[in-house]
Amino acid sequence: MIKLENVYKSFGKLEVLKNINLEVTKGEVVCIIGPSGSGKSTLLRCLNHLERITEGRTIIDGELIDEKVKGKDSLKISPKKVALVCAELGMVFQRFNLFPHLTVLENIIEAPLTVKKIAREIVMEEATLLLKKVGLEDKKDEYPSRLSGGQQQRVAIARALAMNPKIMLFDEPTSALDPELVGEVLEVMKQLARDGMTMLVVTHEMGFAREVANRIIFMDQGQIIEDSSPEEIFSNPRQERTKSFLQKIL
C-alpha cells in the first residue's frame, strides 16, 4: 500500500529524513515511535504531499506519486492527481484541525460533497453512521469549539473516514489531549484496526503500540533505526539507541 524508496527530505540545510526505506502492506498497523525531531511527522506528511521529498520515490497503492532524482522532479504529477491520491490517505492531526466555521456534521460531509461530488443523501447517511461509530451522533449540530478535545479528535477521525480512505495516517493523535480523554480516541483507533484498516500511526502511546501494532518503527535523527514486531522491540530491542529511548519513556 505504501512504499518509500531512499527518501530524503531537508528543510534548507537541515536533513529531516535520511534514506528512508519503508513498506506497509494492506491491513497492517504500523506505529512509528521516537524522540521529537526524529522526523516521524515529516515522514507521514511526505506521503500526502503536505511536504515534498527532496530525493527518492514514494508509491501509494501502486501509484508513483513523488519522485526526485538528484533534487530534480523527474515526474510530472498534475495537482489533480495529487489531490486524488491524497484523498485515499486519511489524515488525523495532533491539533485536530477541524473547520471551526462548520458544524460537526458539515465538517464530515464537506469533502465527500465538494471533492468526490457524491449525492447529498448518501453522504448524509454515511456521516450519520460514522458519527455513531465514533459515538457522537448527538453532537452533529454543534460547532467544534463546543466539544472536548477527545470529541474533536473523534470527529476528525470520522471526517477522514468519510472520504473512504484506503490508508489512515495518524500524526500524534492523542498528544494534545488531556490524559483522561486519550482513552476514548485510542478506543476508536483500535476499532478501526480491528476492522482491518491500514494504519500508520505516529504516537507516544506505548501501550497502544504494543497492543495494536503489527510492526513498530523506531526513528531517530531522520533515520529508521529499528523495524520489528512489538514483542521484540519492547522486550529485546536490537539497537542501543532504541533501548535507551525506551528506558527513558517506559
Partner 1 sequence: MGLQKIITAMPALLQGAGLTILLTLVSIFFGLILGLLLALGRLSKNAFFDRLSQFYIWLFRGTPLLLQIFFIYYALPTFTPITFDALPTAFIALSLNSGAYLAEIIRAAIQSIDKGQMEAAKALGMRYTQAMRRIVIPQSYRRLIPPTGNEFIALLKDSSLVSVIAMTELMRTTSLLSNSSGNAVYYIPCALLYLAMTTIFTFVFSKLEKKYSISE
Tell me if 63 sits within 8 A of 85, measured CB to CB: yes
Please say which residue, 109 or 233, places its beta carbon nearer to partner 1. 109
Residue 228 CB coordination number (10 Å) = 17
Residue the block writes with cell 533515520: 223
Nearer to partner 1, 17 or 113 (CB): 113
Give the residue from 21, 36, 47, 19 showing the smallest Cα distance to 200.
47
Q: CA-to-CA distance for 198 and 89, rounded, in angstroms?
A: 10
**CA 153-157-158 angle, 5° bins:** 115
Nearest distance, CB of residue 94 and partner 1, angstroms: 9
Residue 30 has phi, psi (to 5 degrees) of -115, 125
69 binds partner 1 (CB under 8 A): no
- Over the window 179 to 218, marking each residue x when it contacts partner 1 by CB under 8 A and - when it does not, the resulting string is ----------------------------------------
Q: Write down the least CB distance from residue 97 to partner 1, Å.
A: 4
Options 152-160, 172-180, 199-207, 210-218: segment touching partner 1 (CB under 8 A): 152-160
**What would the x/- binding string for partner 1 be over residues 44 to 63, using CB under 8 A?**
----xxx-------------
Residue of the chain from 76, 121, 145, 180 that contacts partner 1 (CB under 8 A)? 145
Q: Is 249 exposed, middle or buried (0-12, 13-18, 19+ CB in 10 A)?
A: exposed
Residues 116 to 135: which contact partner 1 by CB under 8 A?
116
What one-letter code names the amino acid at 3?
K
CB of 170 to partner 1, least distance (A): 12
C-alpha cell at 156: 476528525
Q: Could you list the residues that contact partner 1 (CB under 8 A)?
A: 48-50, 79-80, 83-84, 86-87, 89-91, 93, 95, 97-102, 110-111, 114-116, 143-145, 156, 159-160, 163
